Amino acid sequence: MKEVILCKYGELILKGANRSRFESQLIRELRRRAAHVGKFQVRWAQSTVYVEPETEEEDIDEMYEQVKKVFGFASVTRAAACEKDMEAIFAAARTYLPQRLQGYETFRCEAKRSDKAFPLKSPAIAAQVGGVILEMLPRLKVDLTHPDITVRVEIRDRMAYIHAGQERGAGGIPLGSGGRGLLLLSGGIDSPVAGYMMAKRGLLIDALHFESYPYTSVQARQKVLELAHELCEYCREIHVHILSLTHIQEVLRDKCEEEYFTLLLRRFMMELAGRVAEEKGCTALITGESLGQVASQTLSAICVTDPVAELPVLRPCIGLDKDEIVERARQIGTFDTSILPYEDCCTVFTPRHPKTRPQLSRVLQQEQRLDREALLQEAWDSRYTVTVRQFEETPQILDPM
């Protein structure tokens, strides 16, 4: 008996002409991860990907953790593989299941036979394996409607598989199947979640971070690189583009009315983001905005900041409450880094009474006090890129720059 990992596609991918492209993206992503964990075979058949350790030494626990972060699978499970023969299946059930059924009181057994040449039909297979389980673990009871755990027997192309405790996969569609988006990544809670949500819908992610040294610190920048690195658990690699807004912020402070600072700054950010996106081949911007969360995220404020971005702005958190965003940040593992107490450029020179219902015309009047083009150019010239990757250390960039 050998333990393997079975990963099943979502229904979505089963349909349409994109299936083979989706499949090869999934396989490539799994093979990339497997190469870092050990020696694993990755192959696919019948809407399932099989990840099989090549030796008994491989770290299947770690491989399973990796598989759970691959977008495109509806469910994943570890399973015992054995010969397609009832005696072999009973033997596998006896050795493999006791540990997996520990702590449960009720179970159900299901069978699925994709190899129609197998002599027994699914209900008979389920009944017989269920019988073996009851004999072996008499404290367990059968509950067909609300079992604590379901044991599944699958008779597939080459082997039979038996497993208990199938879990939801990462869901979504394969990374890279939808193009590339530029995530505006602050050090906060929301933007990493936004990046994760769009990666889940197939986008490769580049990130753009604005800093305002010396008003923001090198630790604040390092924190953002750390967040990007945490996202690489799902997104493979992220090029983090960093631009300085220091001079823009000083000029805004000196020349414009305080209540417009944040809006004016955000218009610079969106415009610069559009330029970076174009240079880096990204066809959408992504932000962590949530409607009404702060003054710059009211609908009127978004109407003022959106038009300068010439690309679609994806805001996957727009309808989520803070609690919901926090919950996701915890799930994906970015929360603890996000709450480290470093300042963001948006919190430098924040107005005491920001406009919550700004008018575009008034904002444009404020902008006439500025040499906008020169300021944009100066910020643009300050850009540099740091690439972070899964399975590599986060680069340490401790110069002020």
> What residues make contact with ligand ATP under the rule CB under 6 A?
184-186, 188-191, 208-210, 287-289, 293-294, 296-297, 344-346
* Whether 243 contacts 210, CB under 8 Å: yes
Which residues in 344-363 contact Mg ion (CB under 5 A)?
Answer: 344
* 3-state DSSP assignment of residue 291: coil
Q: Which of ligand ATP, Mg ion, none does 226 bind, CB closer than 5 to 8 A by kind?
A: none
Nearer to ligand ATP, 166 or 246 (CB): 246
DSSP characters over 146-207 = S-SEEEEEEE-SS-EEEEE--EE---S--TTSS-EEEEE--SSSHHHHHHHHHHHTT-EEEE
- In whole angstroms, how close is the CB of 196 to ligand ATP at the nearest point? 12
* Whether 349 contacts 253, CB under 8 Å: yes
* Whether 149 contacts 164, CB under 8 Å: yes
For residue 177, state whether it binds Mg ion (rule: CB under 5 A). no
Residue whose CB is nearest to ligand ATP in the complex, by number? 188
| Alpha-carbon distances, residue 297 vs 60, 66, 105, 224, 357 (angstroms) | 45, 35, 49, 21, 10
- In whole angstroms, how close is the CB of 267 to ligand ATP at the nearest point? 12
- In whole angstroms, how close is the CB of 338 to Mg ion at the nearest point? 9
**Sheet of 284-286, strands arranged across:** 313-314, 284-286, 180-184, 204-211, 237-244, 384-389
- In whole angstroms, how close is the CB of 317 to ligand ATP at the nearest point? 7
Nearer to ligand ATP, 26 or 301 (CB): 301
Nearer to ligand ATP, 60 or 185 (CB): 185
Nearest to 199, CA basis, from 239, 242, 232, 241: 232
Nearer to Mg ion, 271 or 289 (CB): 289
Q: Can you tell me the distance from the alpha carbon of 278 to that of 311, in angstroms, rounded to the nearest whole number?
A: 9
Q: Can you tell me the distance from the alpha carbon of 358 to that of 145, in angstroms, rounded to the nearest whole number?
A: 56
Nearer to ligand ATP, 190 or 206 (CB): 190
* H/E stretch holding 64: helix 60-67
Q: Which of Mg ion, ligand ATP, none does 334 bind, CB closer than 5 to 8 A by kind?
A: none
Q: Can you tell me the distance from the alpha carbon of 253 to that of 244, in angstroms, rounded to the nearest whole number?
A: 16
- In whole angstroms, how close is the CB of 134 to ligand ATP at the nearest point? 52
For residue 188, state whether it binds Mg ion (rule: CB under 5 A). yes
For residue 192, state whether it binds Mg ion (rule: CB under 5 A). no
For residue 186, state whether it binds Mg ion (rule: CB under 5 A). yes
Q: Which of ligand ATP, Mg ion, none does 184 bind, CB closer than 5 to 8 A by kind?
A: ligand ATP
Q: Which of ligand ATP, Mg ion, none does 345 bind, CB closer than 5 to 8 A by kind?
A: ligand ATP
* 3-state DSSP assignment of residue 56: coil
Which residues in 224-283 contact Mg ion (CB under 5 A)?
Answer: none
* Whether 284 contacts 178, CB under 8 Å: no
Nearer to Mg ion, 64 or 210 (CB): 210
Nearer to Mg ion, 216 or 382 (CB): 216
Which residues of the chain form contacts with Mg ion (CB under 5 A)?
186, 188, 344
